[in-house]
Amino acid sequence: MEFVLRFDMGIEAGLDSERERHLRDLLHPRGFRPDPTRQMRLGVMLSDGSRADATADSRGLPRGVEEPDGPTLTFSGGGGEGSGDRWTTEFRAWLWPLPPKGALTLYYLFEGIGIEEGSLEVEATELREASRDVLDVWTP
């Protein structure tokens, strides 16, 4: 299951060049991380009480491994664009395996750009049902 988080930002007039560079570094999904404590962090709590979290240090999709015992959450890419006074950035995160039926709570924090800790709840039952329509085109 993939989460896509998109940030659309208007840049304030008169932003000093050091702060602008710092923001660009934080918003670049593959870029330099000037302060790991202020980069984007994600976590999930599943209906069975299991948890997983991801930071920029947890990158890439798992390959050639059996299904994990518990949930795994990792950043799987992203990108961005912008010029002058507007920036748009996407971060993608991959949760594996599919969550159990029930509520899935996504927690987020991105202090570096001023987003305080928060959460949102998603009903995972519908996501599991939608996965039944997925066609496996490549079996290793």
Q: Is 128 exposed, middle or buried (0-12, 13-18, 19+ CB in 10 A)?
A: middle
pLDDT for the residue 60: 60
Give tens-digit pLDDT for 41-100.
899 999 999 999 986 556 566 666 677 778 889 888 777 777 767 778 888 888 988 899
pTM, to two decimals = 0.75
In the structure encoding, which two tokens stand for residue 125, read together? 């039952």
Cα–Cα distances (Å) from 86 to 6, 9, 25, 45, in that order, read 13, 6, 15, 33
Stretch 28-35: mean pLDDT: 55
Task: Quick: pLDDT tens for 105-136.
Answer: 999 988 877 889 999 999 998 888 888 888 87
Better-predicted residue by pLDDT, 22 or 131: 131
Indicate the DSSP class of residue 35: -
| Per-residue pLDDT, 78 | 76
